[in-house]
Chains A and B, each alone.
Chain A
Amino acid sequence: MASENLLDSVRAGFGRSSSREDGEIGPIREFINDHFMFFVLTPPLLVLGTLVLLPSSYLLWSSVHEARTWGPDVFVGLENYIAIFQDPMFYLSLRHSVMYVIGSVSLAFVLGLTAALAINQVASKRIRSTFTVLILLAWAVPLVVTGLIWRFMLHSDYGIVNALLVQLGIVTEQIGFVTDPTLAFLSVVVVDAWARAPFATILLLAGLQTIPEDLYEAARVDGANFFQKFRDITIPHLKPQAAIALVIMCMFAFRTFSVVFALTGGGPANSTRVLATYIYQAGINQGDVGYAAALSVLMIAMTMVFITFYVLQVQEDALDTA
């Protein structure tokens, strides 16, 4: 019955006039509608553009000036840069930074890969996600707190790590993890890896889970043993994901400030000073803005190598989806 009514009205086209008029939405909404792309993209891009370009250009400006925190700038050309290349502390910090990146990232990668492989072996989805959460908790800890709490745990007088080592009879005397220059650097690397490994776990686990189960079954039918399966299926499939994880981790490790600052403050005797803490000390503590700016420019330039590599890795994929 009702259908017949509708049919009649459809045939008669009674909705015609009204819906035609409803196509009109008024001049303002019409304008917004016609320029919708402009309205959604302009505010964010303006904000982001300002927040990126303004400080960037100011950074470049400062780096060619003799500049203190307060007071006028004096143009000095490349003097800051020249000074940096003659500054032994710069080379020391850079060397520390590079060693720090290599040590922390490889340790975190191994830890993360082990955890990811182990989690991936768990059949139950619920148990898998429980383990993931438990490991991810370490990622959630603010990095400065990570530094502080490990500083306490590694304390030579009442740190739990020393207590365990002494009680287990591994050492007879408590160790100054943070006071001995060599040990301090190792400690910083290990603590940084502790904070970084969960991120690696997440990325590598995601990579492992994209490998189709069929492949392992096919390999089993073909008679491949455990190591052959790992070598011929797991590693090649994990490679792209692992490469990106490594690049990102290197970038993040290279810029580390909080862990070092909280754990050792750069000491003892500059043994843990890295580029980031050096920039902080020069720019904020000593107020030598021009010098710190030039250091920053150099650091960003070095990071650009990683960024370029990363963008090349990701962009093709990224832009193809557009």
Chain B
Amino acid sequence: MSKQQAPPADEDTTTDDTQHMTTTAPDATDDAYLEIDGLTKVYDDGDDSVVAVDDMNIDIADGEFLVFVGPSGCGKTTTLRSIAGLEEITEGQIVIDGENVEGQAPRERDVAMVFQTYALYPHMSVSENMEYPLKVRGMPKDERDRRVRESAELLEITELLDRQPKDLSGGQQQRVALGRAIVREPRVFLFDEPLSNLDAKLRVHMRTELNRLHNQIGKTSIYVTHDQAEAMTLGDRIVVMDEGEVQQVAPPQQVYDQPVNSFVGGFIGSPQMNFFDAEVDVDAGEIRTDAFTLPYPEWMHDRIGRGGTFAAEFGIRPEDISVEGLDEDATAEDHATAEVVVVEEMGSDFFLTLENDGVEYQAIVEPNTNLQRGDRISLQFDLQKCHLFDDDTGDSLVYPSDR
């Protein structure tokens, strides 16, 4: 998906991509397959208690691929483990396919899970690993064999069936772990950072594989990751979490284009969104930061509707800043000048670290070999794609959360 061609930031408009995704993921509230109602998990070890998940409410549609993303300790893994039945929840309920699973052992919930460490049984061969969930359910041997064979074919690991896990590469172990989940034909697939132990290249490859597999199988899947690239590429919808609380639930492009608060804006996107302390002067029609002054766009005013002068946090993504030329060419009013501090040549783009009046920020610009450290350049900001967040709460002033 091309970030450059993101549409004017209008609440009801989505990209082609997101529209496509919404079709594969029917509106969740219509027929929720898995409901998380008021899920709260408190870890209490006597002296102090930690709220790992705080009053989470999410409905997941049948066949949807939902990705939980957030920094470590945000409660995403706890949520996943609660759904699996590995954690007892403190409050709330989880409903799978119309059935409240409270108090049920993992065994009774009929969900499959792929672990970060793969958790393959080291003393069993690949086929025994894949067979184990069927065996403990008392399935006849020939049926077990058939399912293992078919799943192995689907994952292209047929030639590995007789090997031991320790003889497999990370990527192969990953596939076997997937296979062990697939043979089960579970109601829900749970993924706990399954790609984070793979090296970068393999990770991208397996990401694509997972996408393909999900398209083929079309089962409800819940995926936990701290990697926003995985979240963006895999999810029908993304749940951004921080400190036990859900920040935003939306399709990936919407999360990217219309973050509901500065945490989401900063967490999704790499390099990170630039933030500036700003003062918005509505009467003068200006957004003033320490580094530059920009015109206050009409569309923002329409959404915010506030008058007078107010403080806010101004956010803009590095790719929405472009180089217009050297300083002396600066003309238009939405221009700012800055000094180039670092140039990182990435091939397809240049990452620039810029400085203006003691404020540093980043821009991603088209390759331009003329740029050098110490140059003063003039910049253009894409005012259709910038953000304003509340100074205190961090909530977006332009894309209010519907929660």
Check B185 for interface membership: any CB of A closer than 8 A.
yes
Q: How far is the CB of B33 from chain A (nearest CB, A)?
A: 11
Check B149 for interface membership: any CB of A closer than 8 A.
yes
Cα A45 to Cα B315 in complex, Å, equals: 62
Chain B residues, Cβ within 8 Å of A16: 110, 185, 187
Contact B153 A15 (CB under 8 A): no
Partner of B147, one of A6, A13, A33: A6
Contact A23 B110 (CB under 8 A): yes
Interface positions, chain A 1-57, Cβ under 8 Å from B, are: 2-3, 5-7, 9-11, 13-16, 18-20, 22-23, 33
Chain B residues, Cβ within 8 Å of A11: 217-218
Cα A14 to Cα B149 in complex, Å, equals: 17
Chain A residues, Cβ within 8 Å of B216: 7
Cα A13 to Cα B182 in complex, Å, equals: 12
Partner of B185, one of A2, A14, A23: A14
Contact A7 B153 (CB under 8 A): no
Contact B137 A3 (CB under 8 A): no
Chain B residues, Cβ within 8 Å of A14: 185
Contact B108 A23 (CB under 8 A): yes
Contact A10 B185 (CB under 8 A): yes
Contact B105 A33 (CB under 8 A): yes
Check B107 for interface membership: any CB of A closer than 8 A.
yes
Cα A6 to Cα B213 in complex, Å, equals: 13
Check B184 for interface membership: any CB of A closer than 8 A.
yes
Chain B residues, Cβ within 8 Å of A3: 150, 153-154
Chain A residues, Cβ within 8 Å of B108: 23
Check B138 for interface membership: any CB of A closer than 8 A.
yes
Contact A6 B150 (CB under 8 A): yes
Cα A20 to Cα B101 in complex, Å, equals: 13
Contact A19 B217 (CB under 8 A): no
Q: How far is the CB of A24 from chain B (nearest CB, A)?
A: 8
Q: How far is the CB of B15 from chain A (nearest CB, A)?
A: 28
Whether A19 contacts B137 in the complex (CB less than 8 A), given A5-B150, A6-B154, A13-B185, comes out as yes
Interface positions, chain B 135-190, Cβ under 8 Å from A, are: 137-139, 146-147, 149-151, 153-154, 182, 184-185, 187
Cα A114 to Cα B153 in complex, Å, equals: 60
Q: How far is the CB of A143 from chain B (nearest CB, A)?
A: 38
Partner of A2, one of B105, B137, B149, B219: B149
Cα A3 to Cα B152 in complex, Å, equals: 9
Contact A9 B138 (CB under 8 A): no
Chain B residues, Cβ within 8 Å of A10: 182, 185, 217, 219
Contact A2 B217 (CB under 8 A): no
Contact A7 B217 (CB under 8 A): yes
Cα A225 to Cα B312 in complex, Å, equals: 63
Chain B residues, Cβ within 8 Å of A22: 137-139
Chain B residues, Cβ within 8 Å of A15: 184-185
Q: How far is the CB of B48 from chain A (nearest CB, A)?
A: 18
Chain A residues, Cβ within 8 Å of B182: 6, 10
Contact digits for A156-174, partner B, Cβ 8 Å, 1 yes 0 no: 0000000000000000000
Closest to A21 in B: B137
Chain B residues, Cβ within 8 Å of A13: 185, 187
Contact A20 B110 (CB under 8 A): yes
Contact B153 A9 (CB under 8 A): no
Cα A3 to Cα B154 in complex, Å, equals: 5
Cα A86 to Cα B270 in complex, Å, equals: 82
Whether A19 contacts B110 in the complex (CB less than 8 A), given A10-B182, A11-B218, A14-B185, comes out as yes
Closest to B108 in A: A23
Interface residues, chain A, with chain B CB atoms under 8 Å away? 2-3, 5-7, 9-11, 13-16, 18-20, 22-23, 33
The 4 A-B residue pairs with the shortest CB-CB distance, nearest first, are: A6-B150, A15-B185, A22-B137, A23-B108
Known: A7-B216, A19-B185. 9 other contacts (CB 8 A): A3-B150, A10-B182, A10-B217, A13-B187, A16-B185, A16-B187, A19-B110, A22-B139, A23-B110
